[in-house]
Structures are given as structure tokens and as C-alpha cells.
Amino acid sequence: MTENQTSAAYRFGLLSSFLSGITSFVKIGFKKMVKHNSPVNAALSYNYDHAFIVEDGVVRLNYPKLVYSIGDVEPPESPDIECTDGLMKLSWFDMPQSRFCQYTDTASVIVYEPLIDERMAFRNVCPRSDLSVLLDVTPLIGSTVHCYVSFTSADGKLQGKNVYLGMLDV
């Protein structure tokens, strides 16, 4: 194997590992992008060109750039996260309703701890109109996690692109 092939295989492995833990989200989030392959393969292709950072010769995932859901449903307006005693609060501002922004859209959240490769996934936890949600992430207390959110239409037919919320100390 050449150095380029080894590097490509390593990158593919990093990305596959991240996405494999949230396959159910990827299957829904990338179903619109599927033409001749699976949603997971579509997500791998979509992410491959921008999902990595190289620092001092070490390849890492670029967490803010990772996408597991894509679509037209509006993301939350000015999302904010905080955590106290293992309870993560995600909040966002109210937005006017439109074709791709309905009060009935539902929020889904992924919390990822890379050191132990642990994910907590919360699907359709509340409607957009709630403006916040409180999630129990106590299994990750003491960890620093990466957080993501996306919205889906109430009937599940339309998806939104996920938003990276940042890192959070649990």
C-alpha cells in the first residue's frame, strides 16, 4: 500500500467509526442524497473532503464540519448549550414560521465523546416551539463532548442540516 492509500484508509476508518455509531440518524438525514448507493455511503462521500484536520502530521476529525443530516428544514436560531450536574440544556430563539420552519418541527440531538467513542443520541425530543430541551447526559459526566442538533418536519418527510453546537464539559 502506498502512503496515500494508507492515509486514505485511515481517514475512511475515522469517518466510518464516527458515522457508524449514528447510522439511524445518517439513514434518515442522507436519504434525500441517495442515487445509486446507501445513505451511509452518501454521508461518507459528502464528508470525506472536509471532515479532517491535520496537525503536526496527525489526522483528526474536524468535528465542526461533520454532517450526518442534510436538507431544507431550518436549523435553530442562535442555539446555546450548557450543562449542570449531567443535565444538558439546549435552547434556541423563536423564528417566524415558513415552509421550512414550523413550530411542529422536532429537534434531534447527538452528543459525542471522542476519547471513549461514546455517543448519546436523542431523536425527536421536542418541538421547535418549546425553544429548549433538557437532556440527561449523566453517563458522560467528567467528559468533554461535541454536540449537534438538527430539525425534522413533524411528518418526518423533510430533514434539516445538522448544526455543530460546540464542545461542552459535562
Q: Which residues face 81 on adjacent strands?
A: 90
Domain count, the chain: 2
What tens-digit pLDDT sequence spans the chain (170 residues)? Answer: 777 777 788 888 889 999 988 999 999 999 887 877 889 999 999 999 889 998 888 889 999 999 999 999 999 999 999 999 999 999 999 999 999 999 999 999 999 999 999 999 999 999 999 999 999 999 999 999 999 999 999 999 999 999 999 999 99
Same domain, 25 and 103: no
Same domain, 79 and 156: yes
Task: Show which of 18, 48, 68 is a domain's final residue.
Answer: 68
Q: What pTM does this model have?
A: 0.92
CATH code at 161? Answer: 2.60.40.10
Name the CA dihedral angle for 92, 95, 99, 105, rounded to a multiple of 10 degrees: 30
Task: Show which of 49, 68, 87 is a domain's final residue.
Answer: 68
- Domain span at residue 81 reads 71-170
